[in-house]
Chain A
C-alpha cells in the first residue's frame, strides 16, 4: 500500500541523506527501521508524507502519487498518515484534549477551523482516543504538565483521531525509560493488531525492534543494507550495519 521508489534526498545541495531507497510495505505490516544516527532513518520517514520533499524518486500511497498532488489533496492524504515524533511536539500551553483535537483539523472546513468549531462527534472521538491510551483523566490538564511518556501517549491519541491507515513514528521512545518505552510500543502493537494500522517505526534500540516488529529495514549511509524478517537479523548483519 505504501511504496517508495528510488528515493534520493540531498540537503543544501551537498549532504546526501538518502541514496536510491526503494521500499514496498503491505497493509498491516509492522516495520522497524534501524541504523546508526545520520543513516537517513528520519529523512526516509519524513519523505513518506512529504514533510521532506525528495530530490528524486516517487512516493505512492495506495496507488496515489504523492509528489504530483496539489497541496489540498496532499493534506487529504496526510490525514491518512499519522506521524509521531521523538520530542512529542505538543502545544505546551493548550490542554491535552485541545492537542488531541488537532488530529481532527483535516476534517474541518477553513471557516470551522478558524473559529475553532468542533462538533460533539469530534469531542467524543478525542475522548475515546484518550481513553485508548488511558489518559482520560488528564484530559483538561495543560500539556506541559505531563511526563514524557504521557506526552507521547497524547501524541498517539492525536494521531488516532485522524483515523489513519498508516502510522509513521520517528524514534518515539528514544527519550523514554525502558518500562515506558515498552508501554508505548504496546500501544503501537495494539493499533497494528486491533485497528489494522500499518506501522513504520524508527528505532535505534535493536532489541526493541526485534521484540515488536515483524519486518526490519536496516539503513546505512542512506542506503538499504538489510530488508527482511526480524527473526533473520543476525549479529553478523548488525555488526556490518553499525560498523
Chain B
C-alpha cells in the first residue's frame, strides 16, 4: 500500500514522462520525414492552385472516364471473386484445428504470411514485368491480394469454431469430410459473400492506382492527366471515383446487413426440400459458370501464359539469389518507410481521438456536427493514400513529407471512422455515470468513455500501424519517400537479385512490426 502523496507524485511523473516521450517521438519522426511547416506553408499556394484548377471539372470527359471506371470495376470484381473462391478450399487446409496435417498447415501459413507482406502495387509491378502491361497483370495481382485476405478471414473463422461444435457433429457418427460439409461449410458459404464485399472494398481502391505501374484500370489515365497538367480532367476522374467508391461501400454495407438477417419463409416440407435441392444444384453450377466467365473475360492466350511462366520462373530464380551487397539502400529505404508510417500513425491517432468525439452520434455536441464530421472523414478515407500523396507532391515537392502527410490524412479518416463506431456501439452507461457528476459532455468523453475504450482504441491504432507500414512501402512509386523508390527502380531495371533483397527486407520488417503490435495488443488488454 503506497501513500496517497506517493501515488499522486508518481502518477504525475508518469504522465509528464509519457507526454514528453510522445513529443520527442513525434519530433524525431518529424525530422525523419523532413517535416517543415515552412515547406507546407510555402506549398500551400501551389496546392490551392491545384484545387482551384480542379474546381472546374471537365464534364465532357465523363464518357471516357466511365469506360475506364468500368474496366477498374471489372478488375476489382473479377479478382475479388477469384480470390475468395480459391480461398475457401485452401482455408480448409490451413486452419490448424481441422487441417488433415498440422505440418502442412504450418508450412502453408508461413508461406502465405510472407506473401501477405507484399503490397498489391508491388505484386502488380512484378506481374507486369512477367505478363507485360495490361489489365491481366492487375487482375492477377489483386486476385492474389483477395486470396490472401479472404484466406486469413476464413482461417480465423474456422479456428474460432470451438472444439465442441466439431465434436457435436463427430458424435453423431459423421466422418471428417462430413464434419467439413455440415459443420464448417454452411457458415462459411454465408460468410463468403460478406468476405467478398470486404475484399471488394479494398480491391476497388487498389484497382484505381494499378495504372501507376501499368497494370490497367483508371490509374493510367489519372497519371497521364496529372503529368499533362490537365487538372480539369483529373477533377472529373476524382469526382466520379468518389461517387463509385461511395456507392460500392454503401452497397456492400447493405448487402452484409441483409445477409446477416436473411432467412426465407417456407410453406411446407415439400417446398423446403425443393428449395434445398435447387440450392445444392444451383450453387455449384453458379460457381462453375463464374469460373468459366472469369477465364473467358481475361482473354489470355495459352501462348502468353507460357511466355509469362518462363519469365516468371526466371524472375523468381534470380530473386532467390539475393544480392546482399545492396543492403545500405535497403536500410535507408526501410527506415524512411518506417518513419513515415510511425509519423502518420501518431498524427492520425491524435487527430482521431479528437475527431471521434465529434463524429460519434451519441457523444457529438449536435446531430449536424456529427453528420458533417462523418462526411469529412469519408472524403479523407475514400482515396488510397498514394493518390493523396500525388496532391501533396505538387505542394511540398518530392520526398517523404508528401507521403507522410498523405498517409496521416488517410489514417485520420480510417481511424476516426472505426473508433467512432466503437464509441457508438459502446454498451452500458459509462457516459451517463460521468455526466451525473455535473461534468460536461467532453469531460465525460475524456474521463469516462475514452479510458473505458482505450484498449479498443490501441488495438485499432496498432492495426493502422500495420497497414501504414505496408502503405509506406509503395509511396515511393510516385516519389513520395520510402523503400518504394528503390523497389520500382530495380523492378524496372529487372535487377531481380536486388528486388529479392528489398522484398525480403520489407517482409522481415512487416512481420516484426506485426509481432510487436500483437504483443502490445495483448498487453493493453
Contact = CB atoms under 8 A, between A and B. Distances in A.
Interface of A: 46, 49, 51, 71-72, 75-79, 81-83, 85, 87, 89, 91-95, 97-98, 102-103, 105-106, 108, 110, 113-116, 118, 120, 123-124, 127, 139-142, 145, 155, 158-159, 162
A102 B174 contact: yes
Contact of B173 (A85, A92, A140, A162): A162
A140 B276 contact: no
B187 A92 contact: yes
B173 A115 contact: no
- Of B174, B181, B183, most A-chain CB atoms within 10 Å: B174
B21 interface: no
Query: What are the 9 tightest A-B residue pairs by CB atom distance, in nearest-first order?
Result: A106-B173, A83-B171, A79-B173, A89-B168, A78-B173, A75-B173, A140-B266, A89-B165, A142-B263
Contacts of B263: 95, 140-142, 145
Given A85-B164, A89-B168, A97 B173 contact: no
Given A93-B190, A108-B178, A140-B263, 13 more contacts: A82-B171, A83-B167, A89-B164, A89-B167, A92-B187, A93-B187, A102-B174, A102-B182, A110-B177, A113-B174, A118-B273, A140-B266, A141-B263
B280 A127 contact: no
Contacts of A141: 263
Given A78-B173, A106-B173, A114-B181, A51 B186 contact: no
16 contacts: A79-B172, A83-B171, A85-B168, A91-B183, A98-B276, A103-B172, A105-B174, A105-B178, A106-B172, A110-B177, A113-B174, A113-B178, A123-B273, A140-B265, A145-B263, A155-B168
Interface in B259-274: 263-266, 269, 272-273
Contacts of B167: 46, 51, 83, 85, 89
Interface in B236-288: 263-266, 269, 272-273, 276, 280
Contacts of A79: 172-173
Contact of A49 (B171, B178, B186): B171
Please classify the interface of chain B as helix (H, G, I), strand (E, B), loop, or mixed, using the class held by over half of its residues.
helix
B170 interface: yes
A114 B280 CA distance: 10
B169 interface: yes
Contacts of A89: 162, 164-165, 167-168
Contact of B171 (A51, A71, A108, A124): A51
A46 B171 CA distance: 9
Given A116-B276, A145-B263, A83 B168 contact: yes
Contacts of A83: 167-168, 171-172
A158 B172 contact: yes
A25 to B, nearest CB: 17
A124 B170 CA distance: 23
A78 B186 contact: no
A82 B186 CA distance: 22
A120 B263 CA distance: 23
A71 B162 CA distance: 22
A81 B175 contact: no
Contacts of B280: 115-116
A76 B170 CA distance: 11
B164 A105 contact: no
A162 B269 CA distance: 20
Contacts of A82: 171-172
A83 to B, nearest CB: 4
A237 to B, nearest CB: 31
Contacts of A116: 181, 276, 280
Contacts of B186: 91, 93-94, 98
B403 to A, nearest CB: 43
A3 to B, nearest CB: 19
Given A113-B181, A123-B273, A140-B265, A75 B168 contact: no
A81 B171 contact: yes
Contacts of A98: 186, 276
Contacts of B265: 140
Nearest to B170: A51
Nearest to B262: A142
A104 B280 CA distance: 18
Contacts of B182: 91, 102, 105, 113
Contacts of B190: 93
A114 to B, nearest CB: 6
A114 B177 contact: yes
A91 B173 contact: no
A127 B269 contact: yes
Contacts of A118: 273
B468 to A, nearest CB: 35
Nearest to A90: B168
A105 B172 contact: yes
A164 to B, nearest CB: 9
A195 to B, nearest CB: 17
- Of A103, A105, A141, A142, most B-chain CB atoms within 10 Å: A105
Nearest to B188: A93
Contact of A102 (B169, B187, B266, B269): B169
Given A83-B167, A114-B181, A105 B173 contact: yes
